[in-house]
C-alpha cells in the first residue's frame, strides 16, 4: 500500500508540474500558461493575464476588443461559439467534453485538470 501511495503522488505531481499553472494575484486564480509567460497588463480590458513574451495586443474588429495574441496568429471563425478569435494558423477546433465548448487549440494539445478551478483545459 505504501508503494502505491508513493507511486500515486509521484505520477500526480509530475503530471501537475507539466501543466504550467501560474497564480495570477490580480484575478485570484491559476492560469494555464507556458513556462516563459509573463504577467501583462491589457489597458483596454483593465486585466492582467499571463502571455507569451512575444505576444502583442491586437484589435479584433468582430468583438470590438484588444487581446494579446501571437504575431503570426490569424482571426478564425468558430461556428460553435459564433465568434472570431485570434488563433495560430495550424490550430484546430477541439471539443472539451467537460466544458461543453469547442475552441481552437494546437493539434497535439491534451486536456489537463486544474485542481484550483476544478476544470479541464487544453494545455498550451
Cα separation, 52 vs 55, in Å, equals 5
Question: DSSP code of 63?
Answer: T
β-sheet bridge partners, residue 107: none
Contacts (Cβ under 8 Å, ≥6 apart) of 114: 19, 21, 30, 32, 120, 121
- pTM of the full predicted structure? 0.73
Q: What is the pLDDT of residues 29-68, one digit of tens each?
A: 999 898 999 999 999 999 999 999 999 999 999 999 999 9
DSSP per residue, 73-89:
-EEEEETTTTEEEEE-T
The pLDDT assigned to 13 comes to: 46
Contact predicate 88/105, CB 8 Å: no
Q: For residue 96, what is the enclosing H or E element? A: strand 92-96
Domain hosting residue 76, numbered range: 2-122
C-beta neighbour count of 49 within 10 angstroms: 19
Q: What is the pLDDT of residues 79-120, one digit of tens each?
A: 999 999 999 999 999 999 999 999 999 999 999 999 998 999
Q: For the chain, how many structural domains are there in total?
A: 1
CA dihedral (100, 101, 102, 104) in degrees, to 10, reads -130
The pLDDT assigned to 123 comes to: 84
Amino acid at each position: 500500500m505504501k508503494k502505491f501511495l508513493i507511486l500515486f503522488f509521484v505520477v500526480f505531481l509530475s503530471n501537475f508540474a507539466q501543466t504550467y499553472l501560474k497564480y495570477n494575484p490580480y484575478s485570484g486564480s491559476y492560469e494555464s500558461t507556458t513556462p516563459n509567460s509573463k504577467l501583462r497588463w491589457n489597458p483596454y480590458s483593465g486585466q492582467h493575464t499571463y502571455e507569451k513574451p512575444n505576444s502583442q495586443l491586437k484589435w479584433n474588429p468582430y468583438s470590438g476588443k484588444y487581446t494579446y495574441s501571437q504575431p503570426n496568429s490569424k482571426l478564425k471563425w468558430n461556428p460553435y461559439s459564433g465568434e472570431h478569435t485570434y488563433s495560430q494558423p495550424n490550430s484546430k477546433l477541439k471539443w472539451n467534453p467537460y466544458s461543453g465548448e469547442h475552441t481552437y487549440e494546437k493539434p497535439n494539445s491534451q486536456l489537463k485538470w486544474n485542481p484550483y478551478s476544478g476544470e479541464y483545459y487544453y494545455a498550451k
